[in-house]
Structure 1
Amino acid sequence: MNRRHFVTGAASLMLAGCVGTQQRAPLSPAQDPYYLTMYGPQPNEEFPVPAVDLNKVDPAYYRRVVDYPTPERAGTLVVDTPNRYLYLVMENGKALRYGCGIGRDGFSWGGRARIAYKKAWPTWTPPSEMVDRQPELEKFRNGMPPGLQNPLGARALYIFEGGRDTLYRVHGTLEEWSIGKAVSSGCVRLLNQDVIDLASRVPNDTPIVVLQA
């Protein structure tokens, strides 16, 4: 091998080495396989749930474990209305945090209550006053069947104060864009994948605390 071929070959190897050690650009949260799996399709549900379009959700509202020092005991749900988060309190100052949407005028009820019971793919029955305001809902006065278009989504957790139904729910939604916003009729809405996860973790009679601004 003559000197010219040696130099050319060495230069090629050096260039190849440089290319091989280049750093890839970090993935955005919406491209992260961890979140793509977390919010992927759920075909085994009674009504198969499609994947979430994560580009329509602020990554700040993706489900994750966070530091959350609180006097509330583990297993309690805490709705942080101003910041649009729902926390499931864990041991050792941690919590599982979910992004949520709230009512247009804020979550108008606050205080301590409990999740009396849960339903998978619930029927939605609009309150009479809602039907009076929106006559197009008359056909659902006696209940809207479960399904992907049902406003309660894949799961509903029913909030009772003592023995009284507050009429507020923690429920699912297909409307990804609404997470982190005040748009619903007053309930706390989570992505369907998140409310399915939450409902699997909390039993009936789970305490819930709703914090106002």
Structure 2
Amino acid sequence: MSKRAKRRKAETLAIPMAARVAIGAVAVAALGYGLLSRSASVQPARTPPAREARASSTPVYVAPPVHASAAALTPAPAPIPVPAPLVEPPKADADAPGAFVRQVVDYTSRQAPGTVIIDTGNTFLYFVLNDRQAMRYGIGVGREGFTWSGEQTVARKAEWPDWHPPAEMVSRQPYLPRFMAGGPGNPLGARAMYLGETEYRIHGTNNPATIGKKVSSGCIRLTNEDVTDLYERVKVGAKVIVLPATAARRPGTPPDAAFRLPDPASPSKRPLAANAQMMSPGPKVAEVR
């Protein structure tokens, strides 16, 4: 082979070799750039300050996820109603200090507010305020043989009423006056509430020492201060229930539940209405006990 031919062959081989070298250089450059980019994206770990470390150590409660479908399908439990407790009225102790002082007491009753309930046996009068409370007053009631029970209504009311002793009372006590004008000396006291068409009254007294005692001819007496207070509360037409002196009731029942109206067909066992006037125990005015 001539020198010219060898030179051409060497030039022909030299061109592809240069291309290979160039391609290799480009590949090496690309690989180095990729390594540098990756190292730049990796951040060194940072040690948190002590305050942040303490805060991050506090456990945090994360509620479990609630599925909407399950919550919608599960109905909320219905609240269980709490039964109302049975309120038994406290036993009225007439011998307790201050028992006859006017006061609001716990008193369970089925009667409407404004009803008057007279507990003859314990010498208390209750003015119903609501189904759980009543205003209680100390009273004087009829002596033996002059007690009665039943239901009446307040027919009328009077301030400082006059007193007309009924004929039956005058026959027992001929010395009684036939008429006494209203005033501080009148046995009926400051106020009177007349019960139906009878001679029975709820009224005051000029002798407060008789409160808590059984001394009258069937009427119900209060101190003048208490009867004035009751007078302002009671309306004409109000129901008045007089319980039997020996009324018994089951535990848990209202105090007035033992009261039963008498059979209309049976004769009344009440004393004559004319025996209802309440008397002052003073001489020439008091009914003989």
Do the structures match in fold with TM over 0.5? Answer: yes
Contact preservation (8 Å) 1:105, 1:186: no
Aligned partner letter, 1:84: T
Q: Report runs of 4+ in structure 1 exceeding 4 Å deviation.
A: none
Match of 1:67 in 2: 106
Match of 1:116 in 2: 155
Match of 1:206 in 2: 238
CA deviation after TM superposition for structure 1 residue 99, in Å: 0.3
In the alignment, structure 1 segments of 5+ residues that lack a partner are 1-56
CA deviation after TM superposition for structure 1 residue 92, in Å: 4.0
1:131 to 170, 185, 198: 170
Match of 1:185 in 2: 217
In the alignment, structure 2 segments of 5+ residues that lack a partner are 1-95, 247-289
- Determine helix, strand or coil for the equivalent of 1:147: coil
Match of 2:5 in 1: none
CA deviation after TM superposition for structure 1 residue 125, in Å: 0.6
Matched, 1:89 2:128: yes
Q: TM-score scaled by structure 1?
A: 0.67
Match of 1:169 in 2: 201
Q: Deviations over 1:186-209 (max 9, x none)?
A: 210000000000001111111100
C-alpha distance in structure 1 between counterparts of 2:149 and 2:170, whole Å: 24
Contact preservation (8 Å) 2:116, 2:127: yes
C-alpha distance in structure 1 between counterparts of 2:146 and 2:167, whole Å: 19
Write 1 or 2 for the structure with the bigger share of strand: 1
Distance 1:209 1:87, change over 3 A: same
Contact preservation (8 Å) 2:186, 2:206: no
Match of 1:104 in 2: 143
Distance 1:132 1:106, change over 3 A: closer
Cα-Cα RMSD: 1.5
- Determine helix, strand or coil for the equivalent of 2:200: strand
Percent of aligned pairs with the same amino acid: 50
C-alpha distance in structure 1 between counterparts of 2:139 and 2:146, whole Å: 11
C-alpha distance in structure 2 between counterparts of 1:61 and 1:107, whole Å: 22
Contact preservation (8 Å) 2:114, 2:234: yes
Q: Deviations over 1:64-88 (max 9, x none)?
A: 0000001111110000000000000
